[in-house]
Amino acid sequence: MQKKKIIIDCDPGYDDAVAILLAAGNPLIDVLAITTVAGNQTLEKVTRNALRIAKLAHLDHVPIAAGAARPLLRDQIVVAANIHGESGLDGTTLPEADYRVDCRHAAELIVETIMAEPEKSVTLVPIGPLTNIALAARLEPKIVDRVKEVVLMGGGFHIGNVKPMAEFNIENDPEAAHIVFEEKWPIVMVGLDLTYQALATAAVKKEIAGIDSQAAHFLTQVLTRFSENYKRSKGFDEPPVHDPCAVAYVIDPMVMQTRKAVVHVECWGRYSNGMTVTDLRRPAPEDCHTSVAIKLDQTRFWNLITDAVKNL
């Protein structure tokens, strides 16, 4: 069976952790590299978290490289300690990783990995601010034609979270997001409209709590804290588990409905900065390279997650 090769660019973060577990535990996925970007917490903290999650997920053979510590043009991002805690994974117990971060910059690792693999065989899965991806596209423009597709968690066509119309990953580096969306690689935007359907309900958490594996125990800690923080900070009864939705699409595109639509990122708006302006007024033109995720098959999605942690 031909596995699907992916590079995960992330800022763990609770839901990034779930995305990594899903990728690691699914037999269809081959994780070629993990790269980190400042987002939910500082670059140093999210990189430490990525190393520790990778060890738990038996991905310690995979190169892990740190990337951008700040956005391309703007000041240091505002980290999401209200949701992910001071460490980025507060309330979880993970041993320190006993191996080192790759000496390359994340953008270099992304470029070298894509260029070393056959054409159209690698999918990029960015689940944090898009700074590393923009840098990689500028460092080696050939990657744009060479990747299979970019399946990213970010944006939204009807809704924002950090601002009325801006989602955290896009808002934190709109210029990088602009670069990424304007390149002509196929992009699937798995945005808030979709991820707000991926709620960790009481039933989901009960099922995961009943699985006897280290990964499932960690996942229970993650979902417990994530739920508490989302309730306290945003008033959600059940938290939306955003990032694994992008990985789930790579595993099984039938897990969600998507629709082709032109998307542009607003970088200059007074109130709309970071908005992913999506044209749903009419069918997209033939040459449209972007799709947006619309509807999630929730049962299929959570089955993928529970199966993955059983496998780990």
Point out the residues that are catalytic: 242
Q: Which is nearer to ligand BDR, 50 or 80 (CB)?
A: 80
Q: What would the two tokens of residue 265 be?
A: 């990122």
The whole-angstrom separation of Cα 7 and Cα 150 is 10
Residues between 160 and 219 with contacts to ligand BDR, criterion CB under 6 A: 161, 167-169
Q: Buried (b) or exposed (e) across 15-25, using 16+ Cβ within 10 A? A: bbbbbbbbbbb
Residue span 82-111 as binding mask against ligand BDR, x where in contact by CB under 6 A, dash where not: -x----------------------------
Residue 149 binding ligand BDR, by CB under 6 A = no
* DSSP bridge partners of 245: none
**Window contacting ligand BDR (CB under 6 A); options: 9-17, 25-33, 100-108, 282-290:** 9-17
The whole-angstrom separation of Cα 170 and Cα 173 is 6
Q: How many residues bind ligand BDR (CB under 6 A)?
A: 15
Sheet holding 290-296, edge to edge: 64-66, 29-36, 4-10, 122-126, 149-153, 187-190, 290-296, 256-260
Residue 49 binding ligand BDR, by CB under 6 A = no
C-alpha count within 13 angstroms, C-beta hemisphere, residue 146 = 17
List 106, 114, 143, 153, residue binding ligand BDR (CB under 6 A): 153
Find, among 178, 174, 302, 159, the residue nearest to 234 by Cα.
159
Q: Which is nearer to Ca ion, 16 or 108 (CB)?
A: 16
For 137-249, list the strands marked E by DSSP: 149-153, 187-190
The whole-angstrom separation of Cα 195 and Cα 218 is 21
Strand 290-296 versus strand 256-260 pairing type: antiparallel
CB of 105: closest distance to ligand BDR in angstroms? 21
List 80, 133, 204, 247, residue binding ligand BDR (CB under 6 A): 80
Binder of residue 172, out of ligand BDR, Ca ion, none (CB less than 5 to 8 A by kind): none
Find, among 261, 263, 283, 285, the residue nearest to 274 by Cα.
263
Distance between terminal CA atoms of the chain? 19
Residue 150 binding ligand BDR, by CB under 6 A = no
List 5, 7, 8, 15, residue binding ligand BDR (CB under 6 A): 15
Residue 13 binding ligand BDR, by CB under 6 A = yes
Q: Which is nearer to ligand BDR, 238 or 243 (CB)?
A: 243
CB of 148: closest distance to Ca ion in angstroms? 21
Residue span 236-275 as binding mask against ligand BDR, x where in contact by CB under 6 A, dash where not: ------xx--------------------------------
Cis peptide before 25 (omega within 30 of 0): no
Q: CB–CB of 54/34 below 8 Å?
A: yes
Binder of residue 276, out of Ca ion, ligand BDR, none (CB less than 5 to 8 A by kind): none
CB of 299: closest distance to Ca ion in angstroms? 24
Residues lying near ligand BDR in the complex (CB under 6 A) are found at: 13, 15-16, 40, 80, 83, 127-128, 153, 161, 167-169, 242-243
